Structure formats: C-alpha cells, structure tokens
Amino acid sequence: MRNVYEVLKERGFIENITDEEAVITILKKPVVCYTGFDPTGDSLHVGHLLPLMALMHLEKAGHKPIALLGGGTAMIGDPSGKTEMRQMISSEEIERNKEAMKKIINRYLDIEGGKSLILDNAEWLLPLNYIDFLREIGCHFSVNRMLAAEAYKQRLERGLSFIEFNYQILQAFDFLTLYRSHGCLLQMGGNDQWGNILAGEDLIRRIEGKEAHAFTYPLLTTSDGKKMGKTEKGAVWLSAEKLSPYEYFQFWRNVEDDQVIKLLKIFTFLPMEEITAMEAWKDHELNKAKEILAFEATAITHGKEEARKALEATKAVFSGAGAGGDALPGTVVSRQEISAEKWDAASFLADQGFASSKSEAKRLIMQGGVSFNGEKVGDILMPVTEKNFDEKGECLIKVGKKKFYKVILQ
C-alpha cells in the first residue's frame, strides 16, 4: 500500500514540512497525529474542510487522527496572520461552539468506532498553574525568536497584546501534552500555523529529547488571492442547518475554472487517474468537472442522497425544466394569504427572505433580475396571486442569474 504521505502530497495537501523523509518513515507504521480546531465559531465551514479531508485520508490509512478542540486556546485567540485582535469569547459560547463542532466532525471521522479521537485542550490548559507553567514550559521560549517570526510581523506594527502573545506557547504545550499522553508524533495545520507548530516540535525536542514532526496545508485562495469559501451569504458552512445541501452544492458548482482540478484532488476521494483525465477538459466541458466536484463534495459532507437531490434540482432548474425535487431552498405560504393578495412582488421577495430588504427587492425587479415560473416580473407592485403558481401549487423564483427558490402553496 502506498504511503499516505505520498497520497496527500500528490493531491496537493502539503505546503510545508519539517522533514519529508522522516515523515514518510514514521507513517509506515500507525501514527497518532493531530490538527487543532479552535471553537471560535458555532459551526465549521469549508476553511476547516481541508484539514478534515486530510484527517480522513490518515484515518483510512490506518493512522489515528486526533481532532483537537481548542476549548482552552479559544479563550486566548491566535494572533497568527491576523491584523486585529480577536474579540474575547465567553466560556459559555466556547462550550456551545464545541458541541456544535463535535457533531460535525463526527460526520467526517469515525469517532464512535474509535478510529479517530476528539480531544479538548481545555482539559489540560484550564487547570494550569501560572508559575509552574512558566518554570516548566515558559523558560524554553525565546522572546527574541518569537518576535522575529513572520506571523507576528503585522501585529508588531499594529499592536499585540500579551494574552495573544501566549497563544503559541499554549499550542506548543498541546503538542507536548499529546505526545506525552498519546504518543502523538505529527501535527498538521494551516500554513498560518507553521510558527506555532514548529514551536511545539521544538518543545518536544527540548524537554523530551524526541523528534516530532509536522506539515502544513496550503491556504486555499481564489485566483485573485482572496480566501476561498465565502459566498454572498457569508461563510460556506458544513452544517445543513446553516447552509442547505443544495446551496453547498452550488458553491462547488461555481468555483473558478482554473481551480477545479486542484479542488477535485483535495475535496473528493476520486482516484487520481480520473482527475488527471479531466485536466484535458476545457471550455464548457469544465462544467461537467464542476458538477462532479459539486456532487462528490456534497456527498462527503451531506451524504449521497442529499448530493443526488441537489444535482437533480440543479439540472432541473438550470435547464429550465422547473423546480424539480425538494432540494431547493424555499418557503411555504398559505392559500389564504395568496387569495387575500397580501403581497406585491417586491414585498413578497423581501418577506420570504429572497431579498435582504424591500428596497433591494425593488431594485432587483426593476433591473429585470427576477422571474416567477420562468416569467419575468416587470412590476414591483404586481400582486402575487394563485396565477403565479403552477398546477402543483409551486412557484419557482429566480433571482439574478443563478439563485433559485421554490415557494409552495399550502
């Protein structure tokens, strides 16, 4: 069997590495490895997905990944690569975030079956005694060296508080702790974590005299250099409650041409041969590749069934065949409300949440960007009546070029 490191490298997961030879060697036997996730938000988004995919590869290869929740480090806030100090989060909020994140991580990793672990660094960070900690751990850190690190450059210009300055030390201590308790030898993380990760590797060498290793993932950006994973509605969430599988599918369906292959390698488990075959595809053929990417990625996050539904709905709606299936986002309105002619077109869009305000809805309609069941809405005051619904009592609302919603009459 191929070394999982080769697989990860080939698929574009590796940015930086401590020692390639050594990593390959330790991965020949089952290894405990970890990536940290700070519970600073109430859900995970595509930014977290790349590390999760890597952990899945490692799990499949028989290693033991640890998803480390940063219940303790989230109390501090990582300044790496950030320009502003992050707002302090309350412990109650961190608690809630952790629970939400655990649920999601469970979908990707086999926690119940024991193939992977979820741990929480609050367990060992919160009980720390300040003086003991300084004496045991703090003495191994050179402030001079920390200050020289690239990660702090920006913050040294703009201001860096002492609390954040400690983040790296705590993350290093995490690695040491996991090394001691689980024999963890490998840490992975986003490339912005490189400094923090090396600090941990260094600490293990100093205190335990052992070689630990690490590699980082590339930071995915769109071709104009922005962080990938934002839509007009905000982050691309991995939970169906925050972003429907259909919309998740659309996110992947709409990636840029020159990203498709790269994303297929990272965010699907399709064999490399299949993906490299797609490299020859161009122009409109790329749409097929995007569809495959969207389907596979949606299947991993929401399951095959949801992916199939999303694909079906997408095909129906973009071919003009109407609102197929029930995957489209949408709302339900009562017949009474419709027969009472409660809404004009503009207020309808705003009330159903298809436009962020009534002004926005009016603008969309006046610019010719809205249609009901394939018919362009020309008048913001047009009353919404049963005529706007088809025989099944459905109205497919198109907003702009590619946003579709379904309203059901009940």
Partner RNA sequence: GGAGGGGUGCCCGAGUGGUUAAAGGGGGCAGACUGUAAAUCUGUUGCCAAACGGCUACGAAGGUUCAAAUCCUUCUCCCUCCA
> From the list 290, 302, 309, 406, which residue makes contact with RNA (rule: CB under 7 A)?
290
Give whichever of 192 and 256 is closer to RNA, judged by the CB atom. Answer: 256
Residue 247 gets which letter from DSSP? H
Minimum Å gap between C-beta 234 and RNA is 11
* Region at 128 (left for phi over 0; alpha for psi -120 to 50; beta for the rest): beta
Site string for RNA, 214-233 (x = CB under 7 A): ----------x-------x-
Distance CA 387, CA 10 (A): 55
Least distance in angstroms from the C-beta of 259 to RNA: 9
Q: Say if CB 337 and CB 388 are below 8 A apart.
A: no
Q: Name the DSSP letter for residue 388.
A: G
How many residues in the chain? 410
- Contact flag: residue 302 with RNA (CB under 7 A): no
User: What track of x and - describes contact with RNA for positions 330 through 349 (by CB under 7 A)?
Assistant: ----------------xx--
Query: Contact, 183 vs 212, CB < 8 A?
Result: no
Our CA angle for 78, 83, 84, nearest 5°, is: 75
Using the rule CB under 7 A, which residue among 334, 356, 385, 410 binds RNA? 356
Binding mask 304-333 for RNA (x = CB under 7 A): ----------x---x---------------
Closest CA to 314 of 252, 371, 232, 356: 252
Q: Is 363 in the site for RNA (CB under 7 A)?
A: yes
In angstroms, give the least distance from the CB of 22 to RNA: 40
Q: Where are the beta strands (DSSP E) in 21-115?
A: 32-37, 64-69
Pair of tokens at residue 197: 């990760």
* Closer residue to RNA, CB minimum distance, 148 or 156: 156
End-to-end CA distance of the chain: 56
List 113, 114, 127, 159, residue binding RNA (CB under 7 A): 159
**Among 22, 286, 382, 409, contact with RNA (rule: CB under 7 A):** 286
Q: Is 351 in the site for RNA (CB under 7 A)?
A: no
Select from 112, 241, 283, 391 the one that contacts RNA (CB under 7 A). 283
Q: How far is the CB of 403 from RNA (least distance, A)?
A: 6
147 contacts RNA (rule: CB under 7 A): no
Is 401 a binder of RNA (CB under 7 A)? Answer: yes
Q: Which residue has the tokens 């709905």?
A: 313
Helix, strand, or coil (residue 213) = strand
Judged by CB under 7 A, which of 362, 372, 395, 397 binds RNA? 362
**Contact predicate 169/146, CB 8 Å:** no
Sheet holding 64-69, edge to edge: 16-17, 213-217, 186-190, 32-37, 64-69, 117-120
Nearest approach, Cβ of 252 to RNA (angstroms)?
10
Contact 51, 188 (CB under 8 A): yes
Which residue, 159 or 209, has its beta carbon nearer to RNA? 159
Question: Which of the stretches 7-15, 65-73, 132-140, 396-404 binds RNA when contact is defined by CB under 7 A?
Answer: 396-404
Binding of RNA by 153 (CB under 7 A): no
Token representation of residue 54: 């890597």
Alpha carbon distance 241, 244 (integer Å): 7
Q: Indicate whether 279 belongs to the interface with RNA (CB under 7 A).
A: no
**Residue 364 identity:** L
The residues that are catalytic are 40, 45, 48, 82, 86, 171, 192, 227, 230-231
Binding site residues, RNA, CB under 7 A: 157-159, 224, 232, 250, 253-254, 256-257, 282-284, 286-287, 290-291, 314, 318, 346-347, 350, 356-360, 362-364, 367-369, 380-381, 399-403
